[in-house]
Amino acid sequence: MSTVTDVLVVGGGPVGLAAAIEARLAGLSVVVVEPREGAIDKACGEGLMPGAIPLLHRLGIDPEGIALAGVSYRQGSRTADYRFAGHPGRGVRRTVLHSALAERARELGVVREVGRIDEVTQSTETATAGGLTARWVLACDGLHSGIRRSMGLERVVRRHGRRFGLRQHFAISPWNDLIEVHWGSTAEVYVTPVSPEVTGIAVLGARGIDFARAISSLPELADRLRGADAASPLRGAGPFLQRSRRVAAGRVLLVGDASGYVDAITGEGLRLGFAQARAAIASITGGPGYEREWRRVTHDFRLLTGALLGAASSPARRAIVPLATALPGVYGSVVERLAR
């Protein structure tokens, strides 16, 4: 008779590993299935918002990185700086974060298997995927979740205006302790310190965005990066906008980007993913229902990010930084609410 695992986590990225650690801390047996081995790199801003740090600490993780004191919106000569009211965020290389989570998962006895799972069958008591049977399946398989699609949980979104991201690191010491967001005419360029010697640059915009052209259109940033050596390959991600009809279907829960995503424009994807992982495990151990908790923990992100994205995709785009400069209290309250 085959063994029934308490939790099967599909996807071994940071959110999947966080969910596995949460499950072990709750006394549950866990198997993580992921097709890639080793630390997984991908295009992301790599700035952990302040609210992500205590979520990692409760998992027993304190990844090496560099403190991020706040956010700076920049457009031409205009600058709107906001420093976080409480503890700082942290710039952390994706591979460093993933390695720390993987090591903690191993310490706690999480079983990891190499494989790909896109389909799940389930009964009233268990779910089966990839030849493994578990009481619960957590789909943490990212933006383009195969489980979300195969279970009919994917909601069709409009193709017009879908956004993408590009990211590369440069061997240059950070010149600011704030995340800089440079607002160009058609794209945003994010500058995130990730170590004392390396700075990450991410460009967000419409399909076909050109990384070098976006940077060259910003004279201040182009001057700083001139002559700096690339410290990583150029990577891409997207489209960002993903919707799900539901985030819970029987014994399958969608967690992280697999559950739906608006945009990377506010840079809090990992904080949300960690919070969802915690909510998912709490729901299967007698806590509030996951669908309701998912809506609660993502409410501000969906509301505020959607509003900012709408403005960024309209003629109001050119007014975002001037308004942030003219209304620092409003700007600060929005940043703070998203950061926590």
**Per residue in 295-312, pLDDT tens?**
999 998 888 888 888 888
Q: How confident is the model at residue 78 (pLDDT cuts 50, 70, 90)?
A: very high
Give the Å distances, CA to CA, from 216 to 10, 225, 320.
40, 10, 21
Burial annotation 46-77 (CB, 10 A radius, 16+ → b, else e): bbbbbbbbebbeebebebebbebbbbbbbbee
pLDDT exceeds 80 at position 291: yes
Work out the mean pLDDT of the chain and round it to a whole number. Answer: 93
Q: How far is residue 212's CA from residue 194's CA, in Å, rounded to a whole number?
A: 20
From 269, 257, 275, select the one nearest 305 (Cα to Cα).
269
- On the question of pLDDT at 73 being above 90, the answer is yes
Q: How far apart are CA 15 and CA 250, in angstroms?
A: 21
Has residue 161 got a pLDDT over 80?
A: no
The per-residue pLDDT for 313 is 86
For the chain, give every domain's residue range: 4-64+93-158+239-316
pLDDT at 339 over 50: yes
Pairing verdict, β 252-254 and 132-139: parallel
Q: Name the burial class of residue 234, with classes exposed (0-12), middle (13-18) and buried (19+) by CB atoms within 10 angstroms of its CB.
A: middle
Residues 6+ apart with CB under 8 A from 27: none
Structure tokens at 214: 């976006």
Give SS3 for 9. Answer: strand
Q: What is the pLDDT of residue 1?
A: 42
pLDDT of residue 295: 96
Beta-carbon contacts of 111 under 8 Å, excluding residues fewer than 6 positions away, are 5, 29, 30, 31, 32
Q: Is 313 exposed, middle or buried (0-12, 13-18, 19+ CB in 10 A)?
A: middle
Higher pLDDT, 44 or 131: 131
How would residue 255 be classed by pLDDT, with cut points 50, 70 and 90?
A: very high
> pLDDT digit string (tens) for 31-66?
999 998 888 888 888 999 999 999 999 999 999 999
Cβ neighbours, 10 Å, residue 38: 9
Classified by CATH at the fold level, domain 4-64+93-158+239-316 comes out as FAD/NAD(P)-binding domain (3.50.50)
Asked if residue 254 lies in contact with residue 247, where contact means CB atoms within 8 angstroms, the answer is yes
Residue 30 has pLDDT above 90, yes or no: yes
> In terms of pLDDT, which residue wins out, 338 or 61?
61
128 band by pLDDT with thresholds 50, 70 and 90: very high
Q: What is the pTM of this model?
A: 0.94
pLDDT at res. 310: 87
Residue 314 carries which DSSP code? S
